[in-house]
Homo-oligomer: A and B are copies of this chain.
Amino acid sequence: MKPRIYINDVAVRDGFQIEKNVIATETKVALIDMLSQTGLAKVEVTSFVHPKLVPNMADAAEVLAHIQRVPGVAYTVLVPNLKGMERAVEAHRARGTIDEINVVMSVSETHNRANINRTCEESFADFAVMIGIAKAAGIRMNGTLSTTFGCPFEGHVAEQRVMAFAERYAALGFDGVTLADTTGMGNPAQVKRIAAEAVRRLPGIEFTLHFHNTRGMGLANVVAGIEAGIVRYDGSLGGLGGCPFAPGATGNICTEDMVNMLEDMGYDTGVELDKLLAAAVKLPAIVGHEVPGQVMRAGRTLHLHPVPEKLYTQ
């Protein structure tokens, strides 16, 4: 039996956060509402990052207050630090339920310092405080481990360190852990090995895999992850998102391309691909540029073409 696969779309957070154009709150809300109707298991809707750092996430509380929640869809938000935690819990209590908070650190010490301005130990110390606040507010906690499959400064990270960090998240009481390939350095052999070991060590944790397609390996890594027993995957509508280390390079794997592949392979994702594509085709107008999604150009696999009228006969 093929396992059910659960898809989390991160475009509105991970994709929009790097867009230069200001995206209107109502545009985000409308897109999230479309995504909520597709059958996705989870939608990452915003980030409580400092508005000066990421202007496109300044409306986090507003977005949460106006989306139409659909039963069965989990709404998750990124929270970078304790200040963001306060804002998130305030938004949660005031007007918009948050089902899950996602926090992020890098397995690579260098990348964590460069990206988050924290040592890894300081990140864990923050998380210990943050999880108490989240649990008191009745919100699930997911911890992301960036650079799990490679660091742009350090190269491949010791797999023992990945496991030790996943175990620390679990020990703190986190519900889920996302193993993230931040800059598209993971390969299928490595993904299969790391994912299998993580599942073996922490059977009680809900693992998610987050891949980037920076070097074309994104969907190959999804197949490897499923073979290793992980059933939760992040994707970004239209392949929105980028890679800060390679301007012009592809970023996050594309949700609808992943769903098209999984459907072709016989997996049930619960997602209605046509509805997802209907949302994806709106993105170029929203962000003001083309996006990397391929199925939106080529059509879903079994979208057949008319037979030519003047077909050769013997």
CB within 8 A of A213: which of B122, B154, B294, B312? B294
SS of A interface (majority): loop
**Residue of B whose beta carbon sits closest to that of A219:** B220
Kindly state the separation between the CA atoms of A114 and B306 in the bound complex, as whole angstroms.
11
Kindly state the separation between the CA atoms of A113 and B297 in the bound complex, as whole angstroms.
26
A117 at interface (Cβ–Cβ under 8 A)? yes
A187 at interface (Cβ–Cβ under 8 A)? yes
CB within 8 A of A298: which of B110, B187, B215, B266? B215
- Copies of this chain, complex-wide, total 2
- Please judge, given known A-B contacts A153-B307, A188-B265, A223-B224, whether A119 and B314 are in contact too, CB under 8 Å: yes
Q: Mark A103-126, 1 if CB is under 8 A from B, else 0.
A: 000000010011011110010000
A238 at interface (Cβ–Cβ under 8 A)? no
Binds B, one of A5-13, A39-47, A243-251: A243-251
* Chain A contact residues, CB within 8 Å of chain B: 110, 113-114, 116-119, 122, 150, 152-156, 183-185, 187-190, 213-220, 222-224, 243, 245-246, 248-250, 253-254, 257-258, 260-261, 264-266, 294-295, 297-302, 304-308, 311-314
